């Protein structure tokens, strides 16, 4: 089987190219062809000798992913992509337009093991981790298709990024490399359901990215009932890890709270949230829940507004996430499920 050349971090590719008996600058040239000029064939690397191109072609492959469905919003230019991976699996990405630029939400796994009750991505279970190249290709393919530059990236699509830790770390290194897309990791948000051990590990890299915690409830009983991960790492362990992350990186944490009517949107829930987060350098993102046909969850507009104003009054910095692409609305993971059924 050929090696996946797009998944190499710059220093790894240098080591590979050196093993082929080539000078180090060749690795830099090849890296630029792959990640800046984004050629799909070794034969297009015009400043590389034909003997080296042939050798590269024998040993490595340049992966690609295919757009099999694309939903475009007529309201706000949001585009939802369903991609087919080389092995026939499917994943989703969503491109959103903001005043500050274009943001792409990408997937990190095919399916998810975490079993959060409100999430369509987990219903059919977990298939496999994505390779670094498959995360990058979501970005490159969306840019190529749309002709737009992706200015920020959110790891919040299908999958739990910290459950695919090594590949996500490598993806971040490639994404931010000077000879690659050269995206500052300050423009990246990583969302986790709360794999505490991995939050400590991530802090050690001091990447400067924004950590987003899917919190969704403020008591262990309630959180465990909607997010099984809470049985492994409870809320107080999670908050401790968040504080460690803030101390080590100096970055503010974002807490995601999907407001589910009758489940976690009462005045007592708001008070609990204020108590839990007060004094932390953080932001609370309130998320109106997308309806999923397999789950009986929804948000109530009034309860959501009352919840937000209670948090503001309690001194928490909170916003209700704007719904983009309402006319192509489908909860994350929904498009893939519909396609595969
Ligand atoms: S919310 Fe995230 S972690 Fe939870 S099941 Fe869905 S994809 Fe997995």
Residue 226, pLDDT > 80, answer yes
Rounded distance from Cα 25 to ligand 1 centre (Å): 42
Q: Do domains 3-61 and 66-340 have the same CATH topology?
A: no
Q: Is 112 in the pocket of ligand 1 (CB under 6 A)?
A: yes
The stretch 39-50 carries a mean pLDDT of 96
Nearest CA to ligand 1 atom 5: 116
Q: Strand 109-111 and strand 126-129: pairing?
A: antiparallel
Tokens of 126: 């977990």
**Residue 331, pLDDT score:** 53
Q: Is 160 in the pocket of ligand 1 (CB under 6 A)?
A: yes
- DSSP 3-state of 20: coil
Radius of gyration of the chain (CA): 21
**Residue 340, pLDDT score:** 58
- pLDDT tens digit string along 255-313? 999 898 888 999 999 999 999 999 999 999 998 876 555 567 778 888 999 999 999 99
Q: Is 215 in the pocket of ligand 1 (CB under 6 A)?
A: no
Rounded distance from Cα 119 to ligand 1 centre (Å): 6
Rounded distance from Cα 84 to ligand 1 centre (Å): 20
pLDDT cut 70: percent of the chain above it = 93
Domain ranges in the chain are 3-61, 66-340
Residues with Cβ within 8 Å of 121's Cβ and at least 6 positions away in sequence, in order, are 111, 112, 157, 158, 159, 332, 333, 336
Strand pairing partners for 281?
A: none
Dihedral pair phi/psi, residue 128, rounded to 5°: -165, 165
Which ligand 1 atom lies nearest to the CA of residue 227?
4
Q: If pLDDT is split at 50, 70 and 90, which confidence band does 337 have?
A: low
pLDDT cut 90: percent of the chain above it = 80
Residue with tokens 């589910």: 260
**Residue 339, pLDDT score:** 59
DSSP string, 152-184: EEEE-SSS-GGGGHHHHHHHHHHHH-TTTT---
**Residue 324, pLDDT score:** 67
Tokens of 321: 């996430």
The stretch 66-80 carries a mean pLDDT of 92
**Residue 341, pLDDT score:** 46
Mean of per-residue pLDDT scores for the chain:
92
Region 66-340: CATH code: 3.20.20.70
Nearest CA to ligand 1 atom 4: 116
Nearest CA to ligand 1 atom 7: 159
Q: Which residue, 259, 249, 257, 263, is CA-closest to 317?
A: 257
**Residue 74, pLDDT score:** 87
Instruction: Given CATH 1.10.150.530, say whether it is the number of domain 3-61.
Output: yes
Q: If pLDDT is split at 50, 70 and 90, which confidence band does 121 have?
A: confident
Q: Are 22 and 52 in contact (CB under 8 A)?
A: yes
Q: Is 229 in the pocket of ligand 1 (CB under 6 A)?
A: no
How far the first Cα of the chain sits from its last, in Å, is: 30
Mean pLDDT lowest for which of 121-130, 192-201, 256-265, 286-295? 286-295
Compute the distance between CA of residue 289 and CA of residue 21 in angstroms, rounded to an integer: 55
Q: Which residue, 127, 121, 123, 142, is CA-closest to 38?
A: 142
Q: If pLDDT is split at 50, 70 and 90, which confidence band does 151 have?
A: very high
**Residue 332, pLDDT score:** 60
Dihedral pair phi/psi, residue 126, rounded to 5°: -105, 135
The stretch 44-63 carries a mean pLDDT of 97
pTM given for the model: 0.93
Q: Which DSSP state fits 210? A: E
Tokens of 190: 């990583």
Which residues participate in catalysis according to the annotation? 92, 332
């Amino acid at each position: 089987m050929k090696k996946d050349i797009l998944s190499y971090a710059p220093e790894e590719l240098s080591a590979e190219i050196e093993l082929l008996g080539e000078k180090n600058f060749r690795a830099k040239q090849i890296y630029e062809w792959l990640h800046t000029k984004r050629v799909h064939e070794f034969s297009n690397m015009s400043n590389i000798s034909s003997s080296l191109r042939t050798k590269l072609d024998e040993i490595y492959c340049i992966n690609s992913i295919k757009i099999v469905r694309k939903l475009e919003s007529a309201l706000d230019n949001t585009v939802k992509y369903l991609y087919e991976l080389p092995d026939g699996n499917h994943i989703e990405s969503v491109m959103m337009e903001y005043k500050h630029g274009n943001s792409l939400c990408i997937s990190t796994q095919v399916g998810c093991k975490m079993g959060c009750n409100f999430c369509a991505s987990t219903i059919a279970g977990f298939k496999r981790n994505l390779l670094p190249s498959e995360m990058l290709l979501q970005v490159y393919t969306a840019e190529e298709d749309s002709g737009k530059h992706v200015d920020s990236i959110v790891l919040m699509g299908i999958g739990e990024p910290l459950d695919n830790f090594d590949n996500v770390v490598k993806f971040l290194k490639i994404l931010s490399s000077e000879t690659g897309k050269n995206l500052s990791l300050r423009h990246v948000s990583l969302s986790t359901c709360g794999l505490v051990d991995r939050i400590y590990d991530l802090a050690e890299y001091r990447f400067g990215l924004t950590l987003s915690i899917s919190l969704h409830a403020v008591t262990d009983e309630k959180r465990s009932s909607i997010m099984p991960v809470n049985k492994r790492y409870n809320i107080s362990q999670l908050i401790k890890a968040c504080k460690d992350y803030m101390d080590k990186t100096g970055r503010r944490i974002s807490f995601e709270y999907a407001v589910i009517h009758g489940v976690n949107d009462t005045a007592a829930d708001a008070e609990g949230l204020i108590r839990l987060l007060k004094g932390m350098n953080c932001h609370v993102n309130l998320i109106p829940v997308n309806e999923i046909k397999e789950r009986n969850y929804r948000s109530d507009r009034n309860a959501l507004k009352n919840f937000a104003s209670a948090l503001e009054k309690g001194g928490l910095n909170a916003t209700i996430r704007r719904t983009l692409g309402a006319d192509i609305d489908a909860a994350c993971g929904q498009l893939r499920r519909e396609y595969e059924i």
